[in-house]
Structure 1
Amino acid sequence: MSQASPVLLPIADGARTRAVVLGLLRPHRGPVLLAAVCLVGAAALSLVVAPVLGRITDLALAGAADAMAGPVALLAAAAIGQGVLAFAGLWAVARLGEQVLAAIREDFVARALALPLERIEQGGSGDLTSRITEDIAMVGEAVRTAVPDFAQSALVLALTFLGLTALDWRFALAALLAVPIQALTAGWYLRRSAPIYAERRAAAGGEQQQLLDSLSGAGTVRAFGVADAHVGLVGARIDRSIGAVVTVTLLQTRFFGRLNAAELLGLSAVLVTGFALVDSGAVKVGAALAAALYFAGLFNPVNSVLFLLDVLQSATASLARLVGVTDLPGGEPADLPAESAGGSIEVHGLRYAYVEGHDVLRDVSFTIPEGGSVALVGASGGGKTTLAKLIAGVHRPGSGTVLLGGAATTDLDPVRLRATVALVTQEVHVFAGTLAEDLRLAAPDATDEELWAALETAGLSAWAKALPGGLDTEVGEGSHGVDAARAQHLALARLVLADPAIAILDEATAEAGSSGSRALETAAARVLSGRTSVTVAHRLTQARNADLILVLDSGEIIERGTHDELVAFGGRYARLWEAWAAHRVHPA
């Protein structure tokens, strides 16, 4: 069966990326002005050194050693002033950059969390994770080093040419001989490197996606003996990334070779001009020395500016990927109340396909009244989880409708949808922080009493009371360990606090194992009491007490009814129950 190509998350264009950056800088006009003043002042003081050294040279040639004290003191003052202003300017730029970067991070995370899961799945989790890791890191590097260095170097370049002109316009003209080569080199490099950086970012996302797919499915890969094939797939993605890096490296080598040629031409021209002007008496030796020092002092700023274009270009490509996500529509209306649409579920003629032409669900229809319960039973691949996600609003139906309280899931805004239905899967997560903070993710305003009540309902209160700090105990990775069964109990406690009208458990008790299954299933029954529930049954005991059991096979409902009705019917469910009951009486 063919697979659909990933639909990667969007990437913003250059104009939109610049507009976002300017919008983030606009509230910080004061720090921007402070940084500009300090950096301009530092660059201006750096220009004092060359003419003062030239003055000292002229005094030395004239034998006026007694007059050197003033110029030497001026050198010291300029060095101190330059250091202070440069520190202040770079500090202001770095601080401003970190504030902007923090805003970008927060906007990105907020938008990513608000995205429909279906949209993330279309692009693959690797696309999203590479943006929040590698792209954020690249933008952070630019903010902390490249932007301040680039700004300072660009100012030194501009003011140095003013200094050369002040000495003698012919020095500036000689220095300009290097500019065409440098400009052509920069343009040549940027034209060739821009597509490579975009390819490199895309390759990084593909590499992470393949690693996640292969490692998360390691058990299946080993079971089918396709480890070598997956190693080959990972290797191909890595080779794609390495190829982009090698291409950039070769390009950089040629880039710096051309810049060295420009420096040689420009310095030679300045020295020849200085010799001619001194010989004609137009300038003194000190002025010629100052001009040579000015131009030599341009080597690092020029190379820095042109090389940092490389870093800034890569950071811009990363920033465009971040802005592409933050610009996605679908923000949650802040003024809408979190009111439930209602607890009834109506499914009519539902069809869904992950790949067009290969339906996962076909013509699925059923109704659950408010407060009712349904269990989904069937072999793996029958469409149970897909149906659960469609009811939860994770996916949009290909055709047909899913109504919650009479409202179509496709018409419900995210706030109202979350107030109506909650999905708890087998893959639950314990967030780093205190136990109270973990619970309050579902209900930020919940009191301690409400937290303890939720833990009691979820069968976790005894464990929580035994913790060193009770609700204030740090849990999650690196803190107090929470095993898989208790993590599922904790997810059920969050479900109690969220208090949705409809609760969906997609094998949410599967990780408990035989020893903890009874306690977890008992807790799940208490949590689901009084609310409409859909249970993807991992054990048939979960289905036995449901008001309606749906047996799915190849995306279709092949049997429906209560437990007693289906056992009496003698079909697929009856055979499953007979095998399950025999296994429980005579366990292997």
Structure 2
Amino acid sequence: MSLPLATADSRRTRRALGELVRGQAAGFAVAVAALAAGAAAGVASPLVLGAVVDAVTARERDDVTALVIALVAVVIVQALTAVWSRVAVVRVGERMLARLRDRLVTHVLRLPERRVEDAGRGEVVSRVSGDVAVVGDTVSSVVPGTAAAAFSIAAAAAGLGAIDLRLTLAACVAVPIQWLALRRHLRRSMPVYRASRAAAGERSQRMLEAIEARGTLTAFGTTRMAEERVDESARLTADLSMRATRLSARFWGRLNMAEFAGLAAVLVIGFALVRSGAASIGAATAAALMFLNLFGPMGTVLAGFDDLQRAAASLARLVGVLDEPVETAADVSAGARAPVGIEISGLSHAYGERVVLDDVSLAIRPGEHVAIVGASGAGKSTLAALVCGRLDVERGSVRFTGAAAPRIVLVTQENHVFAGALADDLRMAAPDADDEALRGALAAAGADGWAARLPDGLSTAVGAGGQELTEVRRQQLALARVRLVDPDVLVLDEAASEAGSADGDVLDRAALRLAAGRTTLTIAHRLEQARAADRVVVMDAGRVVEEGTHAQLLAAGDGYARLWRAYGA
């Protein structure tokens, strides 16, 4: 059953935002200064235009010329401060976003693999890509505009008050309408935005499942069913997006009503003030222009609330990921490590009602190489997953002797080639390894021959957009990375799955070289892999039924011997 990742509540999200803000005091000070300068320049334009109107009315030509020059200067200053303020705000926002991305990537890479599987890879991908993109777009485009608009509104309110306080009061007619519209919109839209992001994660998960299991779906003839499940998720995502769009359209309609009411009030009061002689025509003109200039900033701020809600919903999902418990890194300090043994006692495990391990007890001595064999479904891979910690122990125990926090590495047939130079790919396992160590690891994996023939050697680009590698070579890279990690316990589950092909014996030899001198558990899907182990354990229906050396089990003539004869050796 899927166990979704958590979504942080509002209080936790605000606290996380505060943590990101810390250390940005200098940047914030520069941003505030730039925003204040831009807002002041924006208010100066209507005031100068009002003075021009009064000068024209009084037929004072010299004053008009000076005021026009002043107006040009104000416009230039306004343009420069607009650029300055945007850059200053974006710089602060991007630094905060960089911290968030860095923390998120580090945290996700340390999540237990079983937790990622429980939540669904599509859900994890949706959060670290889609939700980060939403927050990033908000930081780079919404926040700068909203901050500048808020300062412009405050400056305009002060400018109206400087002309006549009654004009400010007239402009405030729009505020109750705007407040009610905003409150109603926030209450209705936030659940829709949260549901929309969750639906996008579900859609990604179903798409990934369909792609990864396409072979199985084709074999069972259920491809159409999988397509319908993806379509269902896509329709839900589209429906929620349309619902959010309708809410936004209604919200903007109410804002237009507020702007009309406010402008009408300012014009009426301005007319009354001019008629009574309390204000000049230029002052009334400046007031009307200021309010007209508020339309854009006011809309930006109120729309910013809408966009910020979307970002808040995404940020809450990202903080939920950061709150997930992670695996504690083992102490890998330099120096000799004690040999590690494994004691498995009364281990049982079930998937739902299907029992796959039933009271398994097994002791693996430090440095011993043990091969687990048995028919498909005997419980071999489940045992390996429990030893590695990929599955939680439900009943019984798995204990390691000789080290408090042993380094355990699992190697399967699933491998990944990181895009970039071959050296960088290898250094994902050992960042401080020099070129000589990298070549040694490649040699241990039997890959030194073809690696030396690459066009640029260790600098050759591999992975996406680089040198194409065969499955055997990809697996050799995975084994070379294991050599660089130098684990205490090595678990091989289909690590030499390509054996049997032209180059398959290379993988077997590399796996044996890795196993030499370290505690190793091999899940042998081919009996040939078991022959080289120090001890062979035979499993059947979740139980250990035989154990001994390869020669001893053949001599006993029981289940293992029958499997060996059936294998054709």
Normalising by structure 1, report the TM-score: 0.92
Give the aligned residue type for 2:528.
T
Give the aligned residue type for 1:109.
V
- Render the CA deviation track for 1:474-496: whole Å, top value 9, x for unaligned: 22211122221101111111111
Query: Which residue of structure 1 aligns with residue 443 of structure 2?
Result: 456
- The correspondence for 2:194, drawn from 195, 198, 214, is 198
User: 1:276 aligned to 2:257?
Assistant: no
User: 1:343 aligned to 2:340?
Assistant: yes
1:35 to partner: Cα distance? 0.7
1:443 to partner: Cα distance? 2.3
Asked whether the equivalents of residues 343 and 532 of structure 1 are also in contact (C-alpha less than 8 Å), the reply is: yes
- Which segments of 5 or more consecutive residues in structure 2 lack a partner in the other structure? none
User: 1:519 aligned to 2:506?
Assistant: yes
Whole-angstrom CA distance in 2 between matches of 1:571 and 1:303: 82
User: 1:382 aligned to 2:378?
Assistant: yes
User: 1:20 aligned to 2:24?
Assistant: no
Asked whether the equivalents of residues 509 and 538 of structure 1 are also in contact (C-alpha less than 8 Å), the reply is: no
User: 1:257 aligned to 2:253?
Assistant: yes
1:351-370 correspondence to structure 2 within 5 Å: 351-355=348-352, 357-370=353-366
SS of alignment partner, residue 24 of structure 2: helix
Query: Which residue of structure 2 aligns with residue 104 of structure 1?
Result: 100
Give the aligned residue type for 2:422.
L
Whole-angstrom CA distance in 1 between matches of 2:8 and 2:277: 58
- Render the CA deviation track for 1:413-470: whole Å, top value 9, x for unaligned: xxx34x2x21111111111222222222222332322222221111011111111222
The number of residue pairs the alignment matches comes to 568
1:193 to partner: Cα distance? 0.8
Query: Which residue of structure 1 aligns with residue 141 of structure 2?
Result: 145
User: 1:65 aligned to 2:61?
Assistant: yes
Whole-angstrom CA distance in 2 between matches of 1:335 and 1:571: 44
Calculate the aligned-residue CA RMSD, in Å.
Answer: 2.0
1:272-421 correspondence to structure 2 within 5 Å: 272-330=268-326, 332=328, 337=333, 340=337, 342-355=339-352, 357-405=353-401, 416-417=405-406, 419=407, 421=408
Moved more, 488-497 or 330-339: 330-339
Give the aligned residue type for 1:244.
L
Query: Which residue of structure 1 aligns with residue 534 of structure 2?
Result: 547
Whole-angstrom CA distance in 2 between matches of 1:553 and 1:238: 44
- Render the CA deviation track for 1:389-422: whole Å, top value 9, x for unaligned: 2111222210111122266xxxx5xxx34x2x21
- Render the CA deviation track for 1:168-217: whole Å, top value 9, x for unaligned: 11111111111111011011011111111111111111111111111101
- Which segments of 5 or more consecutive residues in structure 1 lack a partner in the other structure? 583-588
Asked whether the equivalents of residues 375 and 536 of structure 1 are also in contact (C-alpha less than 8 Å), the reply is: yes
Normalising by structure 2, report the TM-score: 0.95
Whole-angstrom CA distance in 2 between matches of 1:235 and 1:145: 32
Asked whether the equivalents of residues 347 and 361 of structure 2 are also in contact (C-alpha less than 8 Å), the reply is: yes
Query: Which residue of structure 1 aligns with residue 462 of structure 2?
Result: 475
Asked whether the equivalents of residues 346 and 406 of structure 1 are also in contact (C-alpha less than 8 Å), the reply is: no
1:18-97 correspondence to structure 2 within 5 Å: 18-97=14-93
Asked whether the equivalents of residues 178 and 263 of structure 1 are also in contact (C-alpha less than 8 Å), the reply is: yes
SS of alignment partner, residue 533 of structure 1: strand
SS of alignment partner, residue 486 of structure 1: helix
Whole-angstrom CA distance in 1 between matches of 2:500 and 2:53: 86
Query: Which residue of structure 2 aligns with residue 440 of structure 1?
Result: 427
- Render the CA deviation track for 1:197-250: whole Å, top value 9, x for unaligned: 111111111111111111101101111111111111111211221121011011
1:573-588 correspondence to structure 2 within 5 Å: 573-581=560-568
Whole-angstrom CA distance in 2 between matches of 1:310 and 1:511: 54
Asked whether the equivalents of residues 454 and 497 of structure 1 are also in contact (C-alpha less than 8 Å), the reply is: yes
How many percent of aligned residue pairs carry the same amino acid? 46
- Render the CA deviation track for 1:322-342: whole Å, top value 9, x for unaligned: 122223344747977377563
- Render the CA deviation track for 1:45-88: whole Å, top value 9, x for unaligned: 10011121111112222222332112112211111111212211
CA gap of 1:379–1:228, structure 2 versus 1, over 3 A, is farther
Asked whether the equivalents of residues 537 and 544 of structure 2 are also in contact (C-alpha less than 8 Å), the reply is: yes
CA gap of 1:196–1:513, structure 2 versus 1, over 3 A, is farther
Asked whether the equivalents of residues 498 and 507 of structure 2 are also in contact (C-alpha less than 8 Å), the reply is: no
Moved more, 122-131 or 545-554: 545-554
Give the aligned residue type for 2:505.
R
CA gap of 1:287–1:225, structure 2 versus 1, over 3 A, is same
Whole-angstrom CA distance in 1 between matches of 2:394 and 2:34: 60
Give the aligned residue type for 1:10.
A
SS of alignment partner, residue 132 of structure 2: helix
User: 1:167 aligned to 2:167?
Assistant: no
CA gap of 1:573–1:223, structure 2 versus 1, over 3 A, is farther
CA gap of 1:513–1:299, structure 2 versus 1, over 3 A, is farther
1:364 to partner: Cα distance? 1.4
